[in-house]
Amino acid sequence: MSMTDLPDARDYRGYADLAGAQRLGLDYRITVRPRAGSSVAIVAPHGGGIEDGTSEIATAIAGEDHDLYLFEGCRPAYNYRALHLTSHRFDEPQCLALIARCRRVVTIHGCDGEDPVVLIGGLDTPLAQAIAESMSSAGIVAATTGHRFPATHPDNVCNRGASGRGVQIEVPHRLRRCDRVEVVANAVRAALVDCGA
């Protein structure tokens, strides 16, 4: 199948449209890993082949402490086009059920560009600022304002947890490589601890 024959994920109104066009277990997979007593969910809504490296970062942040949700493309090609359900339309039921009981939600995304700057948005401003400061301490440049991913839409999946406020982290490709995953993940984990999560 050529790219022109594929449904374009930009046309999906929500998960139901995606599920009608793609096959669970063949085109994409879902991982839900709740942790007893956790009030934090780490979510990679565009994992696997959709935005490479985001599943690994989310998994490292979650560790053994926090809830984890992964939506991963596993098509042989064209994962982004076929499966990239935009964040304010991301309403996969298992994800919403997991985050509904979590006070803090952090979503991990991949952005393009070679500039190694992490772009942080979302309505949980204190946590976003704490993550930016933690990344700065780890030698990673992070921006919380003045970028194209503010993630302030109330339906953005990062803002659909119990508090109605979350954080979206856009990680450029250079920082999604294996040798930087641990640094990024540890910076987010440290910020969560500093914020009492």
Domain boundaries, the chain: 8-194
Which residue from 100, 103, 172, 166 is spatially nearest to 135, judged by alpha carbons? 172
DSSP labels for 62-94?
Answer: HTTTSEEEEEEE--SS-HHHHH---GGG---HH
Six token digits for residue 91: 């309403």
CATH number of 8-194: 3.40.630.100
CA distance 143 to 64: 28
pLDDT digits (tens, 9 = 90+) for 61-105: 999 999 999 999 999 999 999 999 999 999 999 999 999 999 999
pLDDT-derived band at 5, boundaries 50, 70, 90: low
Residue 1 has pLDDT above 60, yes or no: no
The pLDDT value recorded for residue 2 is 52
The pLDDT value recorded for residue 179 is 78
Q: Model-level pTM? A: 0.95
**H helices within the chain, ranges in order?**
15-21, 54-62, 79-83, 93-99, 125-137, 178-194
Strands of the sheet with 67-73, listed across from one edge: 28-33, 67-73, 40-48, 104-111, 167-172, 117-121, 141-143
pLDDT-derived band at 180, boundaries 50, 70, 90: confident
CA distance 35 to 116: 32
Strand 104-111 relative to strand 167-172, pairing = parallel
pLDDT-derived band at 197, boundaries 50, 70, 90: confident
pLDDT digits (tens, 9 = 90+) for 11-29: 999 999 999 999 999 999 9
The pLDDT value recorded for residue 4 is 59
pLDDT digits (tens, 9 = 90+) for 100-147: 999 999 999 999 977 889 999 999 999 999 999 999 999 999 999 999
Six token digits for residue 195: 């914020």
pLDDT digits (tens, 9 = 90+) for 28-69: 999 999 999 999 999 999 999 999 999 999 999 999 999 999
Task: Say if residues 179 and 116 touch (Cβ distance below 8 Å).
Answer: no
